[in-house]
Chain A
Amino acid sequence: MTESARRIASDAEGFILEAEDRRAIAQERDHYEQPQAACIEALKIVQRRHGWVPDAAIPAIAEVLGVGPADVEGVATFYSLIFRQPVGRHVILICDSSSCFLNDYEELRDALSERLGIGFGQTTADGRFTLLPVCCLGACDRGPALMIDDHTYGPVDPGDVADLLEGYA
């Protein structure tokens, strides 16, 4: 075992993969020829419960899938929707791609940033919101668009930002 693998393994102490999550991951595993394929879904399952994926969850997931922790870590650090640090109770994804850009996305971004007092990749001090950019949300006919948690909104006028955020405690 390499030094980094040992470190990751020792981090696992203290992280408990809930039985329900363990079952859900095992079930996902059955959809594929090889268990590694359930890796992304496993990370999402952990994230749904904890809000993010702590380092200590990596070896726990690896163990259920029967793959190396480094394989899980490599995947967990690649994908933008897997969060590797704590995020707010609500995650705001602002579309920063071309159509929204042409529909004054930058004004919306600045309005949100000012209202929340944070920039991209940051979380408000009260732990309520995290702000992130996202690839074209496929809502180009109603840009500028953004997602808050499970819902997509558009077009979002910078003047409506305060009202929109009110709905998310």
Chain B
Amino acid sequence: MSVRRYHSQLRQGAAERRAETHPLTWRLREDGTMVGLEEYVEKKGYAAVREVLNHRTADDVIKTMKEANVRGRGGAGFSAGVKWSLTMKGPDIPRGYLVCNADEMEPGTFKDRLLLEQQPHLLIEGMILAGYANDSCFGYIFLRGEYLEAARAVQRALDEARAAGWLGADIAGSGFDFDIALHSGAGRYICGEETALINSLEGRRANPRDKPPFPGQSGAWGKPTVVNNVETLCNAPGVMHHGAQWYQELSGELSDDGGTKLYGVSGKVNMPGLWELPIGTPASELLERAGGMRDGRTLKTWLPGGGSTGFLLPEHLDSPLDFDSIGKLGSRLGTGLLTVVNEDQSVLALVRNLEQFFARESCGWCTPCRDGLPWTVKLLQALERGEGEPRDIEMLDKLADDLGPGKTFCAHAPGAAMPLQSALKYFRDEFERGVTNPAGVTHDEPMPVGEA
């Protein structure tokens, strides 16, 4: 049989990856199997934990993370150090929780899977450091239910780390107690939203919570709770081991953001995959590493970091892939994994696919999201069939606006609005070609919720 089992894979060989330049991936094995405890420790693993827990204060860790400017790799790009400085701590405040968001479900994103499957000890080390900095009593790895191979790797690593004294009471003789449990999900994209994730962790429906209070003030079970993405946490050991300046220098002139980024490319390219590169690497270089477009086609448009980011054009390829540069172009870096579209592929159809996804995955809590997204899908389907009316495009403009920031509890609807709004801006002709109905003839009313 020619169908292969899927295993996460980095495109860079061992020869290219070094401790000083590839903090996230230099320890990975050439055969892609998990780096176990013994090998991890041989390769300087848990050195940062030993050093920090015994010789540095929590405030010092936060200061270093701030100086390094580690920006949240889950997509929002919020400084991890700043987030940690906002966690409530003190003698009268109960110790809270450190939660790793491993609910990777953003369309086009396959980076955390690599770290979870092949190097869970790096994540555990990062979580211990984050737990120490935030005075957390316990950590959870919130892993999406479909990542079964990752679940096995993480569980093995947790058991190994606990047996070796890296988890539990008095870690590395420092007096700091911290342990981690694996919490496996049961589907639903919305669980990746920080406050929905906390509800899901508590065993409730994954509806987001209103903010404030922010999780750092009152999160899981009302305790201060820090939620960080897998890749963000995996950056902490390198930062604490080598220092903020080293981390800043990794990206050097390329970006004000520090460090490296796990970038990826998918779509019809010759070599889709993952690479660890300095943050701020131009998109053109990434596309080149991916071997360019397949079948001699040309690039039409690209999403910089998942389904909830805005479309960009070939002329934007020289832009550094960092949070501020992509933000200035009207999109978002998101997860930093490019989805490319060639000239034969319909943006209208892709947007319909994306909005179907967002409509299905809406938790239903807020009206614009619950009702606006199925309506959006309905209009897009009409245009795709060539049965649209002129007012449909105006209605999509309005929906994109009504789904935007500030109108719902969480970022689900604004995320859905981004590809829609940018497609209407750059590829309006595709929408207009779907308008064939004479004005005044209406198609069916929007479908009921959940049937889009």
B188 in the interface, Cβ–Cβ < 8 Å?
yes
| A99, A141, A163: the one within 8 Å of B3 (CB) | A163
CB–CB B203/A99 < 8 A: no
Q: Which residues of B contact A51 (CB under 8 A)?
A: none
A138 in the interface, Cβ–Cβ < 8 Å?
yes
CB–CB A36/B202 < 8 A: yes
Give, as a whole number of angstroms, the nearest-CB distance from A10 to chain B: 24
Give, as a whole number of angstroms, the nearest-CB distance from A67 to chain B: 8
| B147, B223, B339, B356: the one within 8 Å of A138 (CB) | B147
Question: Which of A1-9, A110-118, A152-160 contacts the other chain?
Answer: A152-160
Tell me which residues from 170 to 214 in chain B have a Cβ below 8 Å from any Cβ of chain A.
181, 183-189, 200-206
CB–CB A140/B6 < 8 A: no
Q: How many residues of B contact A (CB 8 A)?
A: 62
| A 14-43 to B, binary, CB cutoff 8 A, 1 in contact else 0 | 000000000000000001111111111101
CB–CB A136/B107 < 8 A: yes
CB–CB B109/A81 < 8 A: no
**Highest count of chain A CB atoms <10 Å: which of B110, B189, B223:** B110
| B 367-385 to A, binary, CB cutoff 8 A, 1 in contact else 0 | 0000000000000000000
Give, as a whole number of angstroms, the nearest-CB distance from A156 to chain B: 5
**Highest count of chain A CB atoms <10 Å: which of B5, B113, B266, B345:** B266
Residue of B nearest to A76 (CB): B186
Residue of B nearest to A35 (CB): B203
CB–CB A98/B303 < 8 A: yes
| A 142-159 to B, binary, CB cutoff 8 A, 1 in contact else 0 | 110101001111101100
Question: How many cross-chain pairs have Cβ atoms below 8 Å apart between A and B?
Answer: 169
| A78, A93, A96, A97: the one within 8 Å of B206 (CB) | A78
- In the assembly, what is the distance between CA of A70 and CA of B227, in Å? 28
CB–CB A37/B303 < 8 A: no
B118 in the interface, Cβ–Cβ < 8 Å?
no
Give, as a whole number of angstroms, the nearest-CB distance from A169 to chain B: 15
B353 in the interface, Cβ–Cβ < 8 Å?
yes
| B5, B202, B341, B353: the one within 8 Å of A96 (CB) | B353
Task: Give the interface SS of chain A, mostly helix, strand, loop or mixed.
Answer: mixed
CB–CB A81/B272 < 8 A: no
Given contacts A81-B145, A135-B105, contact A140 B339 (CB under 8 A): yes
Give, as a whole number of angstroms, the nearest-CB distance from A33 to chain B: 5
Q: Which residues of A contact B307 (CB under 8 A)?
A: 97-98, 136
CB–CB B361/A135 < 8 A: yes
| B2, B187, B223: the one within 8 Å of A79 (CB) | B187
B337 in the interface, Cβ–Cβ < 8 Å?
yes
CB–CB B181/A40 < 8 A: no
CB–CB A102/B345 < 8 A: yes
Residue of A nearest to B179 (CB): A31
**Highest count of chain A CB atoms <10 Å: which of B5, B112, B187:** B187
CB–CB A138/B104 < 8 A: yes
Give, as a whole number of angstroms, the nearest-CB distance from A107 to chain B: 14
Residue of B nearest to A167 (CB): B1
CB–CB B354/A98 < 8 A: yes
- In the assembly, what is the distance between CA of A153 and CA of B1, in Å? 12
Residue of A nearest to B352 (CB): A101
Residue of A nearest to B364 (CB): A78
CB–CB A97/B108 < 8 A: yes
- In the assembly, what is the distance between CA of A11 and CA of B389, in Å? 51
- In the assembly, what is the distance between CA of A136 and CA of B110, in Å? 9
CB–CB B2/A160 < 8 A: yes
B146 in the interface, Cβ–Cβ < 8 Å?
yes
Q: Which residues of A contact B265 (CB under 8 A)?
A: 141
- In the assembly, what is the distance between CA of A147 and CA of B113, in Å? 15
CB–CB A40/B189 < 8 A: no
CB–CB A140/B337 < 8 A: yes
- In the assembly, what is the distance between CA of A141 and CA of B7, in Å? 10
| B 108-120 to A, binary, CB cutoff 8 A, 1 in contact else 0 | 1110110000000
- In the assembly, what is the distance between CA of A41 and CA of B349, in Å? 37
| A75, A99, A152: the one within 8 Å of B108 (CB) | A99
Given contacts A74-B205, A102-B345, A142-B272, contact A81 B181 (CB under 8 A): no
Q: Which residues of B contact A31 (CB under 8 A)?
A: 181, 183
- In the assembly, what is the distance between CA of A43 and CA of B267, in Å? 36
CB–CB A141/B202 < 8 A: no
Give, as a whole number of angstroms, the nearest-CB distance from A103 to chain B: 7
CB–CB B1/A137 < 8 A: no
CB–CB B203/A136 < 8 A: no
Tell me which residues from 86 to 141 in chain A have a Cβ below 8 Å from any Cβ of chain B.
93, 96-99, 101-103, 134-141
- Starting from the known contacts A71-B203, A142-B272, A153-B5, 4 additional A-B residue pairs (CB-CB under 8 Å) come to A37-B201, A136-B106, A140-B110, A157-B2
Can you list the 8 inter-chain pairs with the closest CB atoms, starting with the nearest?
A80-B187, A140-B266, A39-B203, A79-B186, A97-B107, A81-B187, A152-B6, A141-B272
Residues of B within 8 A of A (CB): 1-6, 9, 104-110, 112-113, 145-149, 181, 183-189, 200-206, 220-221, 223, 264-268, 272-274, 303, 307, 337, 339-341, 345, 349-350, 353-354, 356-357, 361, 363
Residues of A within 8 A of B (CB): 31-41, 43-44, 71, 74-75, 78-82, 93, 96-99, 101-103, 134-143, 145, 147, 150-154, 156-157, 160, 163-164, 166-167
Of the A-B pairs whose beta carbons lie under 8 Å apart in the complex, a sample of 26, sorted by A's number, is A32-B203, A34-B203, A39-B203, A39-B204, A40-B186, A41-B184, A44-B145, A74-B205, A81-B146, A81-B185, A98-B339, A99-B108, A103-B266, A134-B146, A134-B187, A135-B361, A136-B307, A138-B146, A140-B109, A140-B110, A141-B9, A153-B3, A154-B4, A157-B3, A160-B2, A163-B3
